[in-house]
Amino acid sequence: MFCPTCATPIDSQKFCPKCGSPAPVIPVLPGTAPAPTERPATVRTAGNLLFAAIALNLLGTLYAWTYVARSRFPVGSFVPSALILALWVFLILQMQQGKNWARFGVVLGIAWSAFVVLTTLRFLRYGAQFGAMGFSWVSFGMRLWAGYLLFRPESNAWFK
């Protein structure tokens, strides 16, 4: 910002250091507020919900491997699951740092979760226990709620 009288650069002073005239006031438009510097509670809650959803999915996976499948450890499905878990953790941590691209990555992850959960409906007619499916459905509900919280007005103002 510059002094309107003598064009001297003014940082955050109220008066020009050279000529003493008052510094121009920058108007704040109605309905706009400066971006908050600390993470809003909605983003913290969304991150906690997403981490809890991951933990619940891990419990559901262990339950399915142990009680429903009653087979040896499925190494073939473990590697992709571990990669997806690592991607979720990376996106959540980046989202909690205010990265807007990570917030949209989380939304894509929620959409993927919807696809996965809806495809589990076909297993219900084969008599699979609710325990294996219930963890996925509750986890998906938590992810949906977290996605809602990430797009609340206070969250939108914080993301860069």
Q: pTM for this one? A: 0.67
- 70-80 per-position pLDDT tens digit: 555 555 666 77
- 3-46 per-position pLDDT tens digit: 777 777 777 778 888 888 887 776 656 665 555 568 899 999 99
Residue 102 has a CB neighbour count (10 Å cut-off) of: 19
Backbone angle region of 138, left / alpha / beta, with phi > 0 → left and psi within -120 to 50 → alpha: alpha
Q: Which residue has tokens 């003493």? A: 20
- 83-123 per-position pLDDT tens digit: 888 999 999 999 999 899 999 999 999 999 888 878 776 66
**Mean pLDDT along residues 117-146:** 72
